[in-house]
Homo-oligomer: A and B are copies of this chain.
Amino acid sequence: MEQEYASTLLENAVSELSRLPGIGRKTALRLALHILRQEERMGVSLGEAIIKLRQGVKYCKTCHNISETDKCPICANPARDASMVCVVESVKDVMSFENTRQYMGLYHVLGGVISPMDGVGPDQLEIDSLVERIKNNEVKEVILALSATMEGETTNFYIYRKLGGLPVKITQLARGVSVGNEIEYTDEVTLGRSLLNRTLFSDSFNNV
């Protein structure tokens, strides 16, 4: 049943909010009524933050991470190792890797993975710019860090072919049992890969 709202402003806010992922009309209404109950300043600053976010954020011309300048803080940092480029799907993945604090190289944000089902082809992704970047720079290693899905693997392979012939080492993230996971609940493909790529037990001490 279509809910009737007492105000078109409320109705409008609810339909805008319910376009966000994971937010249905009920949650959107709850959020809108919450905004109404707060001080005016708070609602206005939320709205302004969203507008400024959408209008103000730029993308790094080199790695396509979000940035407020032409060159993002990571690309601009001389302490980072410019000989390594980690290829990721999204801005969020950059944050995930940064949170590990174990990577000091640069990134390249593709903006997604090749997915014919969703109408995403190689042309919509930052693959050509990656190839140009590798050609023109002294990058020694490209780490493919895409999702371990069909689409991710396809994209990995596509990039691998595109970079073929360039004097660059192409690696990908290790596949194996996730830390904390039980063998019983790990799928057999992962188990197979983890057997095949088993590592020396003594190496696990050295990494700690």
Chain A residues engaging chain B, CB cutoff 8 angstroms: 1, 3-10, 12-13, 16-17, 19-23, 27, 29-36, 38, 40, 42-57, 65-68, 72-74, 90-92, 94-95, 98-99
Q: In angstroms, how far is the closest chain B Cβ from the Cβ of A162? A: 24
Which B residue sits closest to A43, measured CB to CB?
B54
User: DSSP class of A's interface residues: helix, strand, loop or mixed?
Assistant: helix
Report whether A10 and B53 are in contact in the complex, using a CB–CB cutoff of 8 Å.
yes
A68's partner among B7, B17, B32, B90 (CB-CB below 8 A) is B7
Determine which of B16, B40, B50, B91 lies in contact with A6 in the assembled complex, contact meaning CB atoms within 8 Å: B91
Q: Is the CB of A21 within 8 A of B34?
A: yes
* CB of A172, distance to nearest CB on chain B (Å): 24
Contact of A36 among B31, B57, B98 (CB under 8 A): B57
Name the contact of A13 in the complex, choosing from B16, B43, B52 (C-beta under 8 A): B52
11 contacts between A and B (CB under 8 A): A3-B95, A5-B95, A6-B67, A6-B94, A6-B95, A13-B50, A20-B35, A29-B92, A36-B53, A36-B57, A46-B50
Across the interface, do A49 and B19 meet the contact criterion of CB distance under 8 Å?
A: no
A6 to B8, CA, bound (A): 37
Q: How far is the CB of A206 from chain B (nearest CB, A)?
A: 24
Given A40-B55, A44-B51, A65-B6, decide whether A33 and B91 contact each other with a Cβ distance below 8 A: yes
Residues of B within 8 A of A35 (CB): 20, 50, 53-54
